[in-house]
Amino acid sequence: MLKLPLVVTAQVDLVLVLVSLLALWTRLSRLSYPNAVVFDEVYYGQFVSLYMKRVFFIDDSGPPLGHMILALGAYVGGFDGNFVWNRIGAEYPSSVSVWSLRLLPALCGALCVPLVYLLTLELRLSHLSALGAALLLLLENSLIVQSRFMLLESVLIFLVLLAFFSYLRFHNAPDSWSRYSWLLLSGASCGAAVG
């Protein structure tokens, strides 16, 4: 029989929430700016266009999973693959959702910040150390820039951090079958990072 009142309690790490929100803000605000092709978006955009047109290709720059992740963002944004990626600085037409092309790398870059906070705590360091580590990633200009464009570096960094964090959770968890889910996540993250 259910006893009233039904009480639910939860612990919320406000520092984790704050650094997560700040990371999302720094990576996602004005994501469509500049509305032009930037640096390696020329190359990754060509790969994404081929995926959108369902053209098979082999690229010698790396494994296909990263390009497929970028293509997922393009697919969600309705990109048809008909934009010509011929030069840096080319303006995106209004038919191209720049925001959706850059969304998944930006989300991965934003998720690196709370992940480093949790990873530092999993290393059994203090909350102040975890905050310091998260702030270093939050404010590091090159990581912000890499996250805000259609590039794969932030995705790779996120997957490597997730693999390391998951392994630490597995290592520090009490001995039970459920702890192997962390090891499985670590292996999947490692596989995705190299795939």
- Let me know: does 31 contact 102? Beta carbons within 8 Å: yes
Confidence of residue 41 (pLDDT cuts 50, 70, 90): confident
pLDDT (0 to 100) of residue 1 = 66
CA distance readout (Å), 122 to 24, 81, 86, 148: 22, 43, 45, 28
- Let me know: does 193 contact 156? Beta carbons within 8 Å: yes
pLDDT (0 to 100) of residue 90 = 85
Domain range list for the chain: 14-194
Q: How far apart are CA 42 and CA 109, in angstroms?
A: 20
- Mean pLDDT score, 145-171: 94
Is residue 3 predicted with pLDDT exceeding 80? no
Is residue 60 predicted with pLDDT exceeding 80? no
3-class secondary-structure state, position 35: coil
Does this model's pTM top 0.75? My answer is yes
- Mean pLDDT score, 55-64: 78
Is residue 6 predicted with pLDDT exceeding 90? no
Q: How far apart are CA 74 and CA 52, in angstroms?
A: 8
3-class secondary-structure state, position 115: helix
Q: How far apart are CA 37 and CA 153, in angstroms?
A: 17
Is residue 63 predicted with pLDDT exceeding 80? no
pLDDT (0 to 100) of residue 161 = 97
> Tens digit of pLDDT for each residue in 68-108?
899 999 999 888 888 888 889 889 888 888 899 999 999 99
* Other beta carbons within 10 Å of 161: 21
Task: Tell me which DSSP letter residue 30 carries.
Answer: T
Considering the chain, what percentage of its residues have pLDDT values greater than 70? 99
pLDDT (0 to 100) of residue 56 = 80
